[in-house]
Amino acid sequence: MPKAARDLPHGIVASSVTPFKPDGSIDFAKLKPHIDWLIEERVNGISPLGSSGEFFAMESDARKRLVEAAIEAIDGRVPSMVGTHHYSTAITVDLSKHAEKAGADSLLIVPPYYGLPTAQGVMDHYRRIADAVSIPIVMYHNSAGTNVDLGTEHMIKLFEEGALAGVKMSHLMPDRMVELLQAGLKRATIYAGIDYVAFEGLSHGAHGWISAIPSMTPRMAAEMYETLTIKGDLVTARKQWKRLAPLMRFVFQGSHISRNAPAPHWAAIMKTGLSLIGPDVGQPLLPSAPLDPENTAILADLLKSLGYRVRQPKAAKAKAA
């Protein structure tokens, strides 16, 4: 069966985080409880080593060990979409072949970042990976993080060739995702890839949603996905999004709202939030600093407003003592 014809998960796909010990090594004991919690929160798929997995701060050997442990923890309960990103095509192929051998159901891959390859070079990158594996590939279209903005016509060609099966569209211009949805591609799974465009993308028929809200508060994301995609209830979905939007703006305040202003890093917000309402997942790797007490309190209030039972933040306990 052509790779592009295989079913990718529809619905909410969580980008699982990588728990680390204070010395920077992976805290494997915390991984399965985190994945169990995501599944209990009604995710339709899990993506280890997406942005939330901090792949960009990890060497290949550590990534491979994390992939093996994550796939074992998922245990086939939901599909796995493993991140195997690297600038080097050879290293990406190596990581991708390893993920397939470890049991990954599909791959999530950002374009070659930082080095500013040509569009032809990016397309050939995906073609070579597709030639090396037999599982579907989802392009993580993240132009803000990679400085690569592959055009719609290029992605359509890769879909038609069978090199791509899906796209996680993280462009802040909603019409870039809508244009793909309206292209009439028969074998393409399109995900809203950043929360800013999720409501519009799902309203236009996006097949799923992978971003901070689905990874941090999956149950709330699943409710809105079902309201829009399954029930077609736009009025109720607007109310649901109105409740979720303040958390989204808080998460991305330092990367999209006021990029140059002092603000906490999204990874610190996500990990702190997950630890407040689910199993402890530790802190992000440096240079992402832990979330300060003031912003932790703001985050706790936002999570409470969504109906989550929030544990008292550790920082607040220490301060009270």
Q: Is 114 a catalytic residue?
A: no
Tokens of 191: 């995900």
Element (H, E) at 100: helix 89-102
Contact status, residue 162 vs residue 3, Cβ threshold 8 Å: yes
Q: Which of 140, 191, 196, 225 is catalytic?
A: 140
| 3-state secondary structure (DSSP) of residue 140 | strand
Contact status, residue 84 vs residue 99, Cβ threshold 8 Å: yes
Q: Is 140 a catalytic residue?
A: yes
Tokens of 293: 């007490």
Please, which residues bridge with residue 208 across strands? 11, 191
Q: Which of 30, 168, 191, 196 is catalytic?
A: 168
Q: What is the C-alpha to C-alpha distance for residues 293 and 88, in angstroms, rounded to an integer?
A: 39
Concatenate the DSSP letters of all residues of 162-227 into one string.
TS-SEEEE--SSHHHHHHHHTTT-SS-EEEE-SGGGHHHHHHTT-SEE-SHHHHHSHHHHHHHHII
Kindly list the catalytic residues: 140, 168
